[in-house]
Structure 1
Amino acid sequence: MDKLTTLTLELAPPDSFDVSPAKASSLGPFLQGCLMEHVDSGYAESVHGLPFNPYSQHCVLDEQSGRLLWCIKALNDGAARAVIDPLRSVDSVSLRGIGKTFQVSKTTSESISLASLVDLLSGESVHKQTVHFVTPTAFKRKGSYEFMPTPRLMLQNLFMHYNQVYGGSHEVDEDVISYIEQHMRISSYNLRSQYFSHAMGEGRKIPAFVGTLTLSMTGPDPLKNLVRMLCAFGEYAGVGIKTSMGMGALKCLKPNKPRQSRGSEAIS
């Protein structure tokens, strides 16, 4: 069965490059360009135009070390071979769009089995789930950007992404989404707006948000476990639009991560 794989590259910024959390996340489009330089053109063509990609990537600032963490996440084995394997041994990352080169100081890799993710469906249920939107997140509906999250927007997006990657179609049953919506509400939140720029503050900006929120769930345990599993999937897939460009990175703050089938592996 497929594995979900995460590769994290710790990047040392050049001396002349001042980094903030917002600036770190805005590097996503440039890192996507770097990633595509290492990916086989046949694979890139095969995923081009898909409604949801089988990988995500984003960049965050480790404020303790001052290093940038570039996180690339593959949702199946094919994406891991195509997207992650070519980057395992790189010693520098050049972002042509801004004319900067970052040295790779450390590389780590970890994976979980898809089975361990699916096991959450039959595990112990919880009635609350807190999530952290790590990088700017937004949705698109009827041609317009939505930058206030709702349970429907979040869970429908995650469900469609999951079905696309593992079922070959992003279609979801509207009755299921409506049923989930009826049994969920946002019980608390700490969100703020943050634009996502395609070019480091220049050009088109996407209205988005970052922060945390807590979902409260009622209804039967299978429903709660489905939400739990989809949120755990979101830690790898991201949520919302442009997750391959650095948007929508998601972290679950309540214990719901499936057990890792393989320990973290330091590559360099």
Structure 2
Amino acid sequence: MISQYNFTVASTDGTPVFSSQAYRLYAWLLSSLSPSHADALHAQGEHPISQFLRYDPSAKTTVWSVSLLNEMAHDLFAPILDTAETVSLHHGTILLQTKTHSAVKDAHDLILESRRRDVSRTTILFHSPASFKQAKRYVIFPQERLIVQSLINQWNRFVPEYPLDDPDAFQMLADGLRISDYALRSTGFRLKETVIPGFTGRLTIRSLLSPPLAELWSTLLSWAEYSGIGIKTTLGMGGVSIDTQQQDAAGG
């Protein structure tokens, strides 16, 4: 079960709502849980939620996107998100204004929808700071292998009914992708007293994949808009949207 909420947000005093405040919004979500629900979430270990803040320049608004990645996440967080109108934080109050909620779908729906997507050339827009970790060091430039690995790891955590567990296929998938263009800038994501190095912007990936692997890549791209890419997506990092040339499979 997968769905996404999008809220237009604003502070009551008119100050900007920055991407790093997503961490505080997530802390508010946790504080809104009942003790029994908080214990259930803690027992699971991995938190089945991804969320981030992004600025929409065309509408001149800030949007809070919250993705619920499995049934537990819906049971715990959907009642809170369905009814909340304000968020009280230490530094002020955030108004949750216009709300949209995507149709709830399961992984099978996501796989079927992905077959209609042409992924020969894909642009990934990184709206909130993204980063990877390799050999205990932050990696602040995206690589094809790191993107694929991040998406597969997230998928296997939260979609166990459709496991992706063929390392040879993953290697062929990464080998068949090429970053062909990018416009990125380095930035940091403030998390309490720490600033995590990362990047925002866009990159374009060209696919040289066989049809079966192209379908897998398409599914992972659809998943990316819910799961995010990279580290700490639960706390507000790695929020993305995907831009591909849509093509109806029936039309060739």
Which bracket does the TM-score occupy, shorter chain normalised?
Answer: 0.7 to 0.9
Gap regions ≥5 residues in structure 1: 259-268
> Closer, same or farther in 2 for the Cα pair 1:123/1:102, shift >3 Å?
closer
Deviation at 1:227, TM superposition (A): 0.8
Q: String of CA shifts for 1:69-101, please: whole Å, max 9, x gaps.
A: 2211111232122112212111211122xx211
Amino acid at match of 2:93: T
Residue in 1 that maps onto 2:233: 243
CA contact (8 A) 1:10 1:106 kept: yes
SS of alignment partner, residue 219 of structure 1: coil
Residue in 1 that maps onto 2:54: 60
Residue in 1 that maps onto 2:32: 38
Deviation at 1:182, TM superposition (A): 1.7
Stretch deviating more after TM superposition (82-91 or 222-231): 82-91
Distance in 1 separating the partners of 2:45 and 2:152:
13
> Closer, same or farther in 2 for the Cα pair 1:124/1:31, shift >3 Å?
closer
1:78 paired residue among 66, 72, 75: 72
Residue in 1 that maps onto 2:95: 103
Distance in 2 separating the partners of 1:172 and 1:142:
22
Amino acid at match of 1:28: A
Gap regions ≥5 residues in structure 2: none
Q: String of CA shifts for 1:219-243, please: whole Å, max 9, x gaps.
A: 3111111111101101001111111
Residue in 1 that maps onto 2:167: 174
Asked if 1:185 corresponds to 2:183, the answer is no
SS of alignment partner, residue 167 of structure 1: coil
Distance in 1 separating the partners of 2:37 and 2:70:
13
> Closer, same or farther in 2 for the Cα pair 1:149/1:41, shift >3 Å?
farther
CA contact (8 A) 2:132 2:146 kept: yes
Deviation at 1:9, TM superposition (A): 2.2
RMSD: 2.5
Distance in 2 separating the partners of 1:182 and 1:92:
46
CA contact (8 A) 1:52 1:161 kept: no
> Closer, same or farther in 2 for the Cα pair 1:64/1:123, shift >3 Å?
closer
Q: String of CA shifts for 1:226-266, please: whole Å, max 9, x gaps.
A: 111101101001111111110000100114699xxxxxxxx
Q: String of CA shifts for 1:156-187, please: whole Å, max 9, x gaps.
A: 11011111101179884332221112211111
> Closer, same or farther in 2 for the Cα pair 1:51/1:244, shift >3 Å?
same
Residue in 2 that maps onto 1:266: none
Asked if 1:165 corresponds to 2:163, the answer is no
Normalised to the residue count of structure 2, the TM-score between the two structures is 0.87
Amino acid at match of 1:73: S
SS of alignment partner, residue 60 of structure 1: strand
CA contact (8 A) 2:117 2:246 kept: no
Q: String of CA shifts for 1:27-66, please: whole Å, max 9, x gaps.
A: 1111111111122444444444867532111112334554
SS of alignment partner, residue 100 of structure 2: strand
CA contact (8 A) 1:59 1:71 kept: yes
Normalised to the residue count of structure 1, the TM-score between the two structures is 0.83
Distance in 2 separating the partners of 1:65 and 1:175:
44
Residue in 1 that maps onto 2:5: 7
> Closer, same or farther in 2 for the Cα pair 1:142/1:173, shift >3 Å?
farther
- Over the matched positions of the two proteins, sequence identity in percent amounts to 27
> Closer, same or farther in 2 for the Cα pair 1:43/1:109, shift >3 Å?
same
SS of alignment partner, residue 75 of structure 2: helix
